[in-house]
Structure 1
Amino acid sequence: MNLQSPRARHALMVAFGIVTATFLYGEAAVTATANEPLVATQGLLTSDGSPTGIEPVAYTLLESDDDKDSKEAESDNEAETSETVPLADYEKLLSRVDDIEESWEGYQEKLADEAAEKKKKSTYKLGGRVHLDSWNFLESDPGINFLETGDYDDDPENRWDFRRIRLELEGTVPNNMLYRIQIDFNNPSAAEMKDVYVGWNNLPYNQTLLLGNQKRPIGLDHLNSSRHNVFAERPLAVETFNEDARRPGIGMYGYTDDELLHWRYGAFLLENISTDGRVRGDYTEGGLYGRLSSSPWYDDISGGRGYLHLALAGSLNQTDGDGNLDLDDNNNEARFRTRPEARSDSRWWNTNRILGANHYQQLAYEFMLNVGAFQLTSEYFGNWVQRDPLGGFNGDDLFFHGGYVFASYFLTGEHIPYDRKTGTIGRVKPFENFFLVDRCCGGTGTGLGAFAVALRYDYLTLSDSDIRGGTGHSITAGLNWYWTAYSKVQTNLIWGTIENAGQGQSNSGPDDTTVPLASGVGGDYAILGMRFMIDF
């Protein structure tokens, strides 16, 4: 059949109309007579075929434009057929429609009831992470040996460590409560609490309230998850001025409707309860913390491949200035310390417990610019300590400070995502996962994953007046190989130097208290580290 001819197209449409009418009107009988339009000659019929009394309806299924314009087509139409279609019972059709509507309404009500029932139940989600480290100390330096082991001739040991073995459980409780329990088993004989809190979300102004052990809001690199950070270990200043990050307290965070601004604030005790879950002593020894961040530029069109992050954070802290002289069973003193961007045994920068220090304040800024595969990030911390003369120290006020800047670039074109609601970075998703498999037709199939390079400069001074906690700087070169969005390998090569240190190593007085040093120690170091990490 030539489907281009008017006659063929007309015949096809007539057939289509007959099939459609049969489907719509149930048991109607379909007949055809020549040279007439399609009509219901008997009117509407009941199910047994008897007339309903409703007038018949006459209509023509289709008349093509070619038939209207062509005399030849009109003559052909005289030979065309017209069909007579008895229609099904109209009342029965309406009844069937009503049944369908009633069934649909019942289904919708069932879905609503199921959703409401789910909201009445608690939810949970199990997750975790494993970070396996290898650290190699490439140089031998007497000063570094002393800071690590207390012996000028004893080198730091190379090592393999499980940096993190965490299990976490989080979820919701009706109507707007939440919870999170996170435990680290990297030392199986002494598990540590991390995030352990309850909270309430969907509060006014998009706020969430948390009560329990949680991160204090200062330091971008600490607020970022260790799963997503660019380098294996956090910068010197970040670890120093917010050591271990988490403390028991009450915190609130929220954001504006347009997500331009994000804030966090709260009150926290100074006691680190990660190993025993207990607080003993004076509850007034704690701090007030706050952070305000903004993303004045965020490129929605590109899916967040471009953004600018700015933030200010600060704290006011009251401490126990007596150290161990009062035999308190707590750790509420002013003390600032950190490792050399690697998991050494000792903290090479260390003020030890500062006797006579009753208060300290902190101020920090954050800057992060991301343009496609490139990112530039920096932070700076200032720390002011007020103290009285005690234990042989002169009582002068102290100022410690430090910061870092790093640049990173994805060789494979990905970018570091940004969460405007929290003011932190998110999970990198490679364009292609790493894999190596056999093909069914022979050969192998491969995927490379994602690659990023990074370079960081750190500076930190914890030496001022008669405190010799160390002054130094370092450079870290990094290579990150992202196997998937949930697994990667980090390689860091670190060169650094430290001087005027030693306050926290082998210089204890009576009752394990700190004594002034006549001079500090220092040295140079080079460390190579790798981390294999996965989370779920």
Structure 2
Amino acid sequence: MHNRPIVRWLAVVLLAVPGVLFSQQIFEEALLPQGTVQYTSALETLAAGKDNPSDQGPERLGDPDSATKTDPNVKAALAGVKAASTQKWTGRVHFDFWGYPTTDEGANIAERGSADKRPQDHWSFRRLRFGPAGDLGENMNYKIEMEFAAPNKVAFKDAYLGWKNIPVLQTVQLGNQKRPYGLDHLNSSRYNVFTERPYVVEAFNQDARRFGLLSYGISEDQAWNWRGGVFLLEDVALTGKYKAVDGAGDDYQHHQAELASRIANTFVWEDGGRTYAHWALSGSIADPDDSGTEEARFYTRPEARTQKRWLNTGKIVGADEYMLFGAEMAFNMGALSIVGEYQSVTMTRNNGLSGLNFDGGYIYVAYWLTGEYTPWSRTSGTLGRTLPITPWDPANGLCSGAWQFSVRYSTADFTDGISDSAIFGGAGHSVSAVVNWWWNARARVQFSYMHGAIADSKVVEGVYEAEADTHDDDYSIIGVRWMVDF
């Protein structure tokens, strides 16, 4: 039953209002350089030149590369856009090895569906990304980044158009982009300390990006930053489109939207950024369909790049709506960092089914053995790029570069509910140790070891099976990742 259209209509309003309020202002500020006289419309330009046989169609619109005469105002406007536009291509390559020294029968069932088959060691590209980003005039920006790690499933990651310098809202972006919760997901994979993200961060924000409209801003002193918007729940990175779910009535279409926001504060900033402290709160209200769609499911791998997901609630039938809450902190003093997060989801269900509560968190300690520190971006409330004091050079020794050692404890619980309506997605605990060896600011290798246990799970070969017997998993995993970005 869908008797709560509030979230759906809020999504429609939020998507429509910025276009109505700012379309004229954006055109004038972004497409016309400062000092340009009042522009004439494209229709007026066409009408003025329609009787001129030498005035060809594209040239009448003011092609800045045309050698023919054009309307001076249109030409000046387009020339201004071209002069202020930028394009920068970036990419990253992450290549992995994963091995499984010990796994018990439960872990074997979760990965391969059989107690007698151990997970398979494997080599793989984790990320293989490439794409452009830049400005369109002085007040607009864009980004397109494609993922080629699975050649048979090419996907887009960031793919958005943005408007800058808007009163109150500051920056608005429309397109596929990260949802504003989960510090470890908001951090770029280029800078994250651990090889894979924690249970709860990945489960509640699977693949992070969704199509939506997001506004973000910062305070003048950069101590505060905030972001918020409306997103579709479905991941469209592979298909590029979203189809609404048919509702109970002929005229009802359910769009499965989500409102999400985050506010962050860097309340300590000393020694040029070598000492800092940060906190943030985030939250969302989501409206999945109650028919058991993909958007009402939380699942994740065991903090390693296994083939299957070992924690999995399955598609939750009867999901009415859910609320997410997140709290995070980060503290850094020179070479030492301490970072932690907690997240919870509270879900209501229809048809007399019991409500559900899932939660989890992590904390890690990281230390630079060679004297570096982990930079922090106050404008985004995320980790920055480490700069090795002595980049790798054979002349300085084969082990030169920057070395960091880190330990993380992580937990998450996806088992909850009453009687026959209970969900047994598993409750996991994991301890991970990682050594990062940075050769220079854009290249490093990670060595990972983790030991974990999962209890009360009905996950068989990565799929939640309600009729299966519960099992417990115990495992140890090793991983190596080679990373470059440019």
**Shorter chain as normaliser: what TM range?**
0.7 to 0.9
Code of the aligned partner of 2:321: H
1:526 match:
476
| Distance in 2 of aligned mates of 1:503 and 1:149 | 10
Mapping of 1:177-196 within 5 angstroms? 177-196=140-159
Mapping of 1:14-29 within 5 angstroms? none
- Residues 94 and 481, structure 2, Cα contact 8 Å, conserved in 1: yes
Matching residue within 449, 452, 465 for 1:493: 449
Matching residue within 307, 312, 321 for 2:281: 312
| Distance in 2 of aligned mates of 1:445 and 1:222 | 35
1:478 match:
434
| Distance in 1 of aligned mates of 2:438 and 2:169 | 34
- Residues 146 and 155, structure 2, Cα contact 8 Å, conserved in 1: yes
Q: Is it true that 1:354 corresponds to 2:310 in the alignment?
A: no
- Residues 216 and 246, structure 1, Cα contact 8 Å, conserved in 2: yes
- Residues 256 and 262, structure 1, Cα contact 8 Å, conserved in 2: yes
- State the shift of 1:521 in Å: 1.1
- Residues 312 and 462, structure 2, Cα contact 8 Å, conserved in 1: no
2:203 match:
240
- Residues 111 and 460, structure 2, Cα contact 8 Å, conserved in 1: no
1:411 match:
369
Distance 1:227 1:128, change over 3 A: same
Q: Is it true that 1:368 corresponds to 2:324 in the alignment?
A: no
The DSSP-based 3-state class of the residue aligned with 1:230 is: coil
Identity of matched residues, %: 42
Q: Figure out how many residues of one structure are paired with residues of the other and give that number.
A: 397
- State the shift of 1:517 in Å: 3.5
Q: Which has the larger radius of gyration?
A: 1
The DSSP-based 3-state class of the residue aligned with 1:399 is: strand
Q: Which has the higher contact order (CA 8 A, sep 6+)?
A: 2
Mapping of 1:111-130 within 5 angstroms? 120-130=83-93
2:405 match:
453
Code of the aligned partner of 1:292: I
- Residues 157 and 176, structure 2, Cα contact 8 Å, conserved in 1: yes
**TM-score, structure 1 normalization:** 0.72
Mapping of 1:86-105 within 5 angstroms? none
2:121 match:
158
- Residues 503 and 517, structure 1, Cα contact 8 Å, conserved in 2: no
The DSSP-based 3-state class of the residue aligned with 2:85 is: coil
- Residues 288 and 316, structure 1, Cα contact 8 Å, conserved in 2: yes
Matching residue within 420, 424, 427 for 1:468: 424
The DSSP-based 3-state class of the residue aligned with 2:222 is: coil
* Of 120-129 and 522-531, the range deviating more from structure 2: 120-129
Matching residue within 279, 284, 292 for 2:255: 284
- Residues 80 and 137, structure 2, Cα contact 8 Å, conserved in 1: no
- State the shift of 1:119 in Å: 6.2
- State the shift of 1:140 in Å: 3.2
What are the superposed Cα offsets for residues 131-168 of structure 1, whole Å, 9 maximum, x if unpaired? 00010011131110110011111110001110000002
What are the superposed Cα offsets for residues 487-512 of structure 1, whole Å, 9 maximum, x if unpaired? 011111000000111246587xxxxx
1:335 match:
297
Q: Which runs of 5+ in 2 are unaligned?
A: 1-75, 246-253
Matching residue within 335, 341, 359 for 1:401: 359
Q: Which runs of 5+ in 1 are unaligned?
A: 1-112, 325-330, 438-443, 508-513
* Of 195-204 and 454-463, the range deviating more from structure 2: 195-204
| Distance in 1 of aligned mates of 2:172 and 2:223 | 20
What are the superposed Cα offsets for residues 145-192 of structure 1, whole Å, 9 maximum, x if unpaired? 110011111110001110000002101111311000000100112111
| Distance in 2 of aligned mates of 1:382 and 1:181 | 31
- Residues 249 and 267, structure 1, Cα contact 8 Å, conserved in 2: yes
2:230 match:
267
Code of the aligned partner of 1:281: A
**TM-score, structure 2 normalization:** 0.79
Matching residue within 378, 387, 397 for 1:429: 387
- Residues 436 and 445, structure 1, Cα contact 8 Å, conserved in 2: yes
- State the shift of 1:204 in Å: 2.7
- State the shift of 1:212 in Å: 0.2
2:130 match:
167
Q: CA RMSD in A?
A: 1.9
What are the superposed Cα offsets for residues 187-224 of structure 1, whole Å, 9 maximum, x if unpaired? 11211110000001122357211000000000000000
| Distance in 1 of aligned mates of 2:480 and 2:459 | 30
What are the superposed Cα offsets for residues 291-348 of structure 1, whole Å, 9 maximum, x if unpaired? 000011111xx22000000000000000011126xxxxxx33x100000111111100
